[in-house]
């Protein structure tokens, strides 16, 4: 792994996909990443990951940015939209194809059913089918990294993930490629995000190595789950966060991040709450767990949720 120079200024980011309103779990990730960035006097960037049109909801990206702004979470640099950056991903893919790290693959999901959907070698060769492009993951590829909150994480990528899709057969870029290219292009030194992406990190590190890019530091915050253990964003309880009354959700997120609720007592506006939060935040209080239960109140409002 390329070592990061500790004297490099901290650059953090929040990278939502515009698939709906910003829900409470995303707010928690945004706030956690913002607090850690501010704690290190760094730059905090927002990147819209709008590379999957079939999953996108029209207008969602603008609404997410408006929600972030209502919470005082504003990018320190112009917001980057992945949909405007195709040439960067194409260059990275060409590099990987040229040096043999990536290959065209015509296997469908059905073709891979026998190996549980995991691609280890091509089993279909129908030239009529449009190809996906995958990163070749050789046998016995174990990637380990030190997560800033979760400790050592290890994954045998060939066994657990297989060859990683970089460009889908439908022509769309895979998240894994775009996120690696953009984190490097934006000079991100610290990736702070939800623990649902913990097991994507080893393949992102492999891709960084294949592209000769530095590996940022990673910290995965607990995922907010509902009482049944479902990820909040996927469950019926996913609450749109209220732009007109940000304080209750902000307080709830602050507390779920392990910080003392009384620290925000004096705040009457989100701006003041964020100032207090920035001053009182201590990274060593972050909960070292991969999930936290959020009891969704029946009136569908975040107030009093914790
Ligand atoms: N766009 C991804 C998501 O919303 C997050 C990407 C990341 O933080 O690496 O789940």
Question: What mean pLDDT comes out for the span 214-238?
Answer: 79
pTM of the full predicted structure? 0.93
Q: Which of 291, 237, 297 is nearest to 28 (CA)?
A: 291
Q: How far is the CA of 261 from the centre of ligand 1 (A)?
A: 28
CA distance 53 to 81: 13
Residues 6+ apart with CB under 8 A from 83: 48, 50, 51
Domains and CATH numbers, the chain: 7-84+222-297+302-306 (3.40.50.620), 85-186+205-213 (3.40.50.620)
Cβ-in-10-Å burial (0-12, 13-18, 19+) of 255 comes to middle
98-124 pLDDT, tens digit each: 999 999 999 999 999 999 999 999 999
- pLDDT tens-digit readout, 22-65: 989 999 999 999 999 999 999 999 999 999 999 999 999 999 99
Contact 179 CB / ligand 1 (< 6 Å): yes
- List the structure tokens of 189: 């030194």
d(CA 136, CA 122): 11
What SS3 state is found at 102?
A: strand
H/E stretch holding 31: helix 24-39
Q: What is the predicted pLDDT for the residue at 231?
A: 74
Determine the pLDDT at residue 299: 41
Ligand 1 mutation pick, 15, 52, 79, 173, max ligand atoms within 8 A of CB: 15
Mean pLDDT in residue range 132-158: 98
Q: Is the CB of 176 under 6 A from ligand 1?
A: no
The verdict on the CB of residue 27 being under 6 Å from ligand 1 is: no
SS3 (DSSP) at 258: coil
Contact 293, 225 (CB under 8 A): yes
Residue of 239 and 144 predicted with greater confidence: 144
CA nearest 186: which of 46, 5, 20?
46
């Amino acid at each position: 792994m390329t070592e990061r120079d500790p004297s490099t200024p901290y650059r953090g980011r929040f990278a939502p996909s515009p698939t709906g309103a910003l829900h409470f779990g995303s707010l928690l990730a945004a706030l956690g990443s913002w607090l850690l960035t501010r704690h290190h006097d760094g730059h905090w960037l927002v990147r819209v990951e709008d590379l999957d049109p079939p999953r996108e909801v029209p207008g969602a990206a603008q609404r997410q940015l408006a929600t972030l702004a209502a919470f005082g979470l504003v990018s320190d640099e112009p917001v980057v939209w992945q949909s405007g950056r195709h040439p960067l991903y194409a260059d990275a893919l060409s590099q990987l194809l040229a040096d043999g790290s990536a290959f065209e693959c015509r296997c469908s999901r059905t073709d891979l059913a026998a190996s549980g959907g995991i691609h280890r070698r091509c089993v279909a060769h129908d030239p009529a089918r449009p190809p996906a492009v995958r990163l070749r993951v050789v046998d016995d590829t174990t990637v380990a990294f030190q997560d800033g909150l979760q400790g050592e994480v290890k994954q045998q990528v060939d066994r657990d993930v297989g060859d990683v899709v970089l460009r889908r057969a439908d022509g769309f870029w895979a998240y894994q490629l775009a996120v690696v290219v953009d984190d490097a292009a934006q000079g991100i030194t610290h990736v702070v995000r939800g623990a649902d992406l913990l097991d994507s990190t080893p393949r992102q590190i492999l891709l960084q190595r294949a592209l000769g890019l530095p590996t940022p530091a990673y910290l995965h915050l607990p995922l907010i789950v509902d009482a049944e253990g479902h990820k909040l964003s996927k469950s019926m309880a996913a609450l749109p966060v209220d732009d007109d009354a940000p304080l209750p959700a902000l307080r709830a997120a602050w507390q779920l991040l392990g910080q003392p609720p009384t620290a925000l007592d004096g705040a009457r506006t989100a701006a003041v709450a964020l100032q207090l939060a920035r001053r009182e935040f201590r990274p060593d209080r972050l909960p070292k767990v991969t999930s936290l239960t959020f009891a969704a109140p029946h009136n569908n409002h975040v107030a009093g949720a914790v």
